[in-house]
């Protein structure tokens, strides 16, 4: 009797195991149907490149991942082009790829125009010209004639700011007596006319050129003493030509020997009357 009970219990336990196994098979079938129905068999897994092995340049076939909808989705294992993912910017906007927006700078204020130069008021008296237009220094006294307009009867002539005797000829002409001491040195001298009684009547300045007189082109290199007269030896500075001259001789039709001593020789320029002769000191040069 106990043996029949033991056999009955083993049979029940076997039936339970078979029922549990059947349920497990049904569950596996449902899961398989839900995830793998309608999809192709998965291909072999792609090879993963090792740290030391360079991947093959041949393209890898796309791998499909099963979806619930049943439509395979391609998987791209090539690197993404980041530039293609950036948003395109319309070049017509003028900003290009510059994503920063800078404020428009404030324009500088306009430069004010320069102040107009005032037109100088012409003086009441106008000098047009003078005669002579130029002189040589140390030539002595001379008369300077001034031509212009609106010259007053009480006109006073000035040379470099110094007044000299002036003669009124007309409202267009006046004469200034200039002494030789006023032109002892060369330079440009300013000539003006003013009224003696009215300070508002004055003229424009006019330039008088006072030139340096030419020096004799000789050196005093020797002296030949004689009983009655001495002979000076002059050497030309231009061509080293030697001239033996006595007092009163004229060299090259221009330079007249006035005086001869052992220390110096005095020569006068006969083409230009100076207030005193030129002096050439003895140099003793032999070459």
For the segment 216-224, the average pLDDT, to the nearest whole number, is: 93
For the segment 237-253, the average pLDDT, to the nearest whole number, is: 91
The CATH architecture that domain 126-211 belongs to is Sandwich (2.60)
For the segment 152-165, the average pLDDT, to the nearest whole number, is: 96
Higher per-residue confidence, 218 vs 14: 218
The pLDDT value recorded for residue 147 is: 98
The pLDDT value recorded for residue 96 is: 55
> CB–CB of 148/126 below 8 Å?
yes
Task: State the pTM of this model.
Answer: 0.54
For the segment 69-83, the average pLDDT, to the nearest whole number, is: 55
Two tokens at 6?
């033991």
Average pLDDT, the chain: 81
The pLDDT value recorded for residue 90 is: 53
Per-residue pLDDT band at 63 (split at 50, 70, 90): low
Q: Is the pLDDT of residue 24 over 90?
A: no
The pLDDT value recorded for residue 229 is: 85
Secondary structure class of 93 (helix, strand, coil): helix
All CATH 2.30.30.830 domain ranges of the chain, comma separated, are 218-281
Residue 264 CB coordination number (10 Å)? 14
For the segment 55-75, the average pLDDT, to the nearest whole number, is: 51
The pLDDT value recorded for residue 110 is: 87
* Closest among 17, 239, 207 to 130, alpha carbons compared: 207
The pLDDT value recorded for residue 167 is: 97
All CATH 2.60.40.10 domain ranges of the chain, comma separated, are 126-211
- DSSP at 15: H
For the segment 6-17, the average pLDDT, to the nearest whole number, is: 78
Q: Is the pLDDT of residue 58 over 70?
A: no
Per-residue pLDDT band at 111 (split at 50, 70, 90): confident
Each residue of 119-139: pLDDT tens digit? Answer: 778 899 999 999 999 999 999
Q: Is the pLDDT of residue 68 over 60?
A: no
> CB–CB of 109/133 below 8 Å?
no
The pLDDT value recorded for residue 71 is: 53
Q: Which helix (H) or strand (E) holds 139?
A: none
Q: Is the pLDDT of residue 188 over 80?
A: yes
CATH of segment(s) 218-281: 2.30.30.830
The pLDDT value recorded for residue 49 is: 43
The pLDDT value recorded for residue 74 is: 55
CA distance 248 to 202: 50
CA distance 51 to 195: 111
Per-residue pLDDT band at 39 (split at 50, 70, 90): very low
Q: Is the pLDDT of residue 146 over 70?
A: yes
């Amino acid at each position: 009797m106990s043996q029949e009970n033991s056999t009955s219990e083993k049979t029940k336990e076997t039936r339970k195991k078979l029922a549990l196994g059947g349920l497990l098979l049904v569950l596996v079938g449902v899961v398989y149907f839900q995830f793998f129905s309608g999809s192709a068999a998965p291909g072999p897994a792609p090879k993963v490149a090792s740290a030391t092995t360079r991947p093959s340049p041949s393209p890898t076939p796309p791998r499909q991942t099963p979806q619930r909808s049943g439509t395979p989705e391609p998987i791209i294992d090539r690197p993404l082009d980041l530039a293609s993912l950036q948003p395109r910017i319309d070049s017509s906007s003028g900003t290009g790829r510059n994503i920063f927006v800078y404020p428009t700078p404030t324009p500088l204020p306009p430069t004010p125009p320069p102040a107009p130069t005032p037109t100088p008021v012409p003086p009441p008296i106008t000098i047009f010209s003078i005669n002579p237009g130029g002189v040589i220094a140390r030539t002595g006294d001379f008369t300077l004639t001034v031509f212009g307009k609106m010259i007053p009867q009480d006109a006073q002539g000035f040379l470099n700011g110094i007044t000299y005797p002036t003669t009124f000829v007309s409202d267009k002409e006046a004469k200034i007596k200039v002494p030789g001491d006023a032109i002892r040195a060369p330079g440009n001298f300013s000539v003006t006319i003013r009224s003696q009684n009215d300070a508002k009547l004055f003229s424009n300045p006019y330039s008088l050129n006072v030139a340096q007189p030419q020096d004799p082109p000789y050196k005093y290199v020797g002296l030949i003493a004689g009983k009655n007269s001495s002979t000076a030896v002059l050497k030309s500075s231009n061509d080293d030509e030697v001239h033996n001259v006595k007092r009163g001789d004229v060299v090259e039709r221009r330079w007249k020997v006035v005086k001869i001593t052992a220390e110096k020789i005095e020569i006068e320029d006969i083409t230009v009357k100076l207030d005193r002769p030129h002096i050439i000191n003895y140099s003793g040069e032999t070459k």
